[in-house]
Amino acid sequence: MPNPQRPYRFIISGGGTGGHIYPAIAIANQIKVVHPDAEILFVGAIGRMEMTRVPEAGYKIVGLWISGLQRRLTLDNLSFPWKVISSIRMSNKIIREFKPDAVVGVGGYASGPLLYAATSKKIPALIQEQNSYAGITNKLLAKRVQKICVAYNNMDAFFPAEKLVMTGNPVRKDIMELEGKRREALLHFGLTSEKKTILVIGGSLGARMINQSIAAGLQQIADAGYQLIWQTGRAFYPQAQELEKPFTDAGIRAFDFIRQMGLAYAAADVVVSRAGALSISELCLAGKPSILVPSPNVAEDHQTKNAMSLVQEQAALLVRDAEAQQQLIPAALELAGNETEQHRLAQNILKLARPNAAVDIVNELLKLIK
Cα(105)–Cα(111) distance, integer angstroms: 5
Residues annotated in a binding site? 17-19, 131, 172, 204, 258, 303
Residues annotated in a binding site for UDP-N-acetyl-alpha-D-glucosamine? 17-19, 131, 172, 204, 258, 303
